[in-house]
Structure 1
Amino acid sequence: MSALFSPITLRGLDLANRIMVAPMCQYSAVDGEANDWHFTHINSLALSGAAMFCIEATAVEAIGRITPGCLGLWNDATEAALKPILASVRKHSKAAVAMQLAHAGRKGSSHTPWDGGQQIPIAQGGWQAEGPSAVPQKEGETPPLALDAAGLKRIRDAFAATAQRAERLGIDALEVHCAHGYLLHQFLSPISNRRTDQYGGSLENRLRYPLEVFDAVRAAFPADKPVGIKVSSTDWVDGGWDIAQTIELAKQLKKRGVDWIDASSGGVSPLQKIPLGPGYQVQFAQAIKQATGVNTIAVGLITEPKQAEDIVASGKADMVALARGMLYDPRWGWHAAAQLGGHVTAPPAYWRAPPHEQKDLFGATTFGTR
């Protein structure tokens, strides 16, 4: 039996395989509200064969967006915009739907990637970003405002409120975004966190705020539904955040009942030097899993079914998450199942899709005509 297509249970959520569609920013929302693009994107990839689809980084407040086009879930309008999309997914797909809760911190007020991705000045329609310290992402940019006690509480409460909205929408699982140089990662990394209070300095202090946010989300979401977290396992910069500190974070998260750790890397500094290559981040998922026993998800240039199978079968990670690979091949899960001898589900209208030699891809299905 294929390890990739074996089931896994995350708290009260049963998944038929170990594949997740990774959260991918679409930069296509208007005032945080999902629209017809999201309807098409989400419904399409919910039929990929992956057992779980994770909605893109979803801002918990308006200034927590990376770009003006980022998705949000902070008010009734953003909640209402997602409702019909999720209703359609539930009607046609058996995939679990997760959501990544996020705050951009000092990386907020940016242009979309296809418009250069650089900071938008306030005079040109941007907004004042906030962060742990008044240290800009790049030299010459407008620095963020250092968050005070009231700001920390506001954002912590916003994460919890968004978790409650996600539950009202029927979301099956949540992932707290603590990676890629966004707000919670900014608190972890000494590159971006220069605070001298209880949230800065020592490792214990730098862990404090991300753990407080995780606790707030966990408390606001039903106890039988899983909550995971995405981390940057290293900054790829000397003197920055690294895998040893990530393991200490993972140990604290394990005490809090984290259901998975999605092990990515980088994003907090333009000085990073990343050795890109197939599966280059799998080592981090493996190290975290070996040190803590927590479920891990491997990400990063995982493109081939046999590659994904080896990651899970060898115990390097419990699941894999694909992003660009899914965009390039929206039926990646089908093709992986065909190669590895697994089964996936599909709507009856698609039952005739597999070639004859893969007629059992969808299990025992019948399709009569006259």
Structure 2
Amino acid sequence: MTQAKLFTPFRIGDFELANRIVIAPMCQYSAEDGCMTDWHMIHLGQLAMSGAGLLTIEATAVTPEGRISYADVGLYSDECEAAMRRVLDGIRRWSDMPIAIQLAHAGRKASTDVPWKGGAQIPPHRPHGWQTEAPSALPHSDGEVPPTALDREGLTRVQDAFADAARRAARLGLHAVQVHAAHGYLLHQFLSPLSNRREDEYGGSLENRMRFPLEVFDAVRAAFPADRPVTVRVSGTDWADGGWTIGETVEFAKALEARGCSGIHVSSGGLTPAQRIPVGPNYQVPLARAVKQATSMPVIAVGLITDFVQAEAILSTGDADLIAIARAIIYDPRWPWHAAAHFGAAVKAPSQYLRSQPRQFPNLFDVRADD
């Protein structure tokens, strides 16, 4: 039986993933003043037992005002770093799954309530609210308080904050950093002409709109150890007239590759309420395919990938090198186990769970490296 590509190893930078399954970053809105809590220990801990190849910590703000909501995780202070270290130490005691972190700034989409309370913007004068900042003073939605347009000092401050968070991530022993330039957050706001109306060297042409995101990438790459990967998450398109396009994404990906980017995670949308997204299985895979065909970087596909055969097909046809799952693994935290069982592959499981191996899958759990 031919081995499923989903369960073949894959090397990114100087470390090897056991398989091609990436757990995408998923905001939990459960932090306190930017600090991780016991919820993150529970949430990330169970995912670290899933048998996936890589676990990615949720969008982590590089400044307090860069948080999506008041309940977002940050990595901008010693307190944030200490709280994250506690969670990571707990997970690493029981799992050797590589862990990455997504570093982010929400820009004009910051200062919101948590999703289960509606997720609306909280104005600066209200509790838990603050003044947002962005490339231009254009609100995300009608009726919101407009953001402050970042000046030169502000740009330097944000860039330095990304670099500082990358250094903290290195001290925490995280295996990789992902720079968040997707889903309508700050770096994506610079890329899209719908949100970037600047008239300086950071606005107008594609080269100018890419300038600040590339400067942030360069700063993170310089701040993070050279032997550990730095990847970028992008929105392949805004799904809106006059917005960011897949052609521009390809050019951005080429520029990132030339700067030493270790991989690109291709998502889409999030910039404007006017987006028209053709949601369905594999709806973002053509975007990943376009980047894959234009670059030699590892490409991660994501978006309504829920079925094992579906995931395998994306890899076996060459549309992407890895697949990322989010909601699917929240719904089924043993998704990689079940996928391995389906394909007759093996996956690592904790010693405490070995007795759960079903009789019909006697070789499901790989215990060769287990003590």
Note the residue ranges of structure 2 that are not aligned, 5 or more in a row.
Answer: none
Q: Percent of aligned pairs with the same residue?
A: 57
Please point out which of 160, 183, 189 is paired with 1:186: 189
Structure 1: which amino acid aligns with 2:157? R
The answer to which of 108-117 and 196-205 deviates more is 108-117
Partners of 1:366 and 1:77 lie apart in 2 by 35
Q: How many pairs align?
A: 367
Moved more, 291-300 or 24-33: 291-300
Match of 2:145 among 135, 142, 146: 142
Q: Which residue of 2 aligns with 1:122?
A: 124
Query: Displacement of 1:222 after TM fit?
Result: 0.5
The one of 317, 320, 324 aligned to 1:321: 324
Alignment partners' CA distance in 1, 2:366 and 2:11: 21
Q: Distance in 2 between matches of 1:199 and 1:341?
A: 51
Give how far 1:363 is off: 2.4
* Superposed CA RMSD: 1.1
In the other structure, the counterpart of 2:81 is 79
Tell me the CA shift for residue 365 of structure 1. Answer: 6.3
TM-score (norm 2): 0.97
Asked if the contact 2:298–2:320 (Cα under 8 Å) also holds between the matched residues in 1, the reply is yes
Is 1:288 aligned with 2:305? no
Classify the secondary structure of the residue corresponding to 2:216.
Answer: helix
AA partner of residue 98 (structure 2): A
Tell me if the contact between 1:94 and 1:345 (Cα under 8 Å) persists in the aligned partners: no
Report the equivalent of 1:237: 240
Instruction: Map residues 205-244 of structure 1 onto 2, 5 A cutoff.
Output: 205-244=208-247
Q: Deviations over 1:234-293 (max 9, x none)?
A: 000011001000000001001011111100000110000000001110111111000112
One-letter amino acid of the counterpart of residue 347, structure 2: V
1:298 matched to 2:306? no
CA 1:171/1:366 → structure 2, altered by over 3 Å: closer, same or farther? closer
AA aligned to 1:262 is H
Partner of 1:55: 57
Query: Separation in 2 of the partners of 1:318 and 1:113?
Result: 32
Structure 1 length normalisation: TM-score?
Answer: 0.98
Structure 1: 5+ residue stretches without partners: none
Instruction: Find the counterpart in structure 2 of residue 177 from structure 1.
Output: 180
Which one of the candidate residues 265, 276, 283 is aligned to 1:262? 265
> Is contact 2:20-2:53 (8 Å) kept?
yes
Tell me whether 112-121 or 82-91 shows the greater mean CA deviation.
Answer: 82-91
- Partner SS, residue 356 of structure 2: coil
For residues 97 and 138 of structure 1, what CA distance do their matches in structure 2 show? 34
- Of 334, 343, 360, 1:357 maps to 360
1:87-142 deviation per Cα after TM superposition (whole angstroms, max 9, x unaligned): 12212112110000000000010111111111101221210000000000011211
User: Greater CA deviation, 289-298 or 179-188?
Assistant: 289-298
* Aligned counterparts of 1:341 and 1:196: Cα–Cα separation in 2: 57
Output the CA distance in 2 between the equivalents of 1:117 and 1:338. Answer: 38
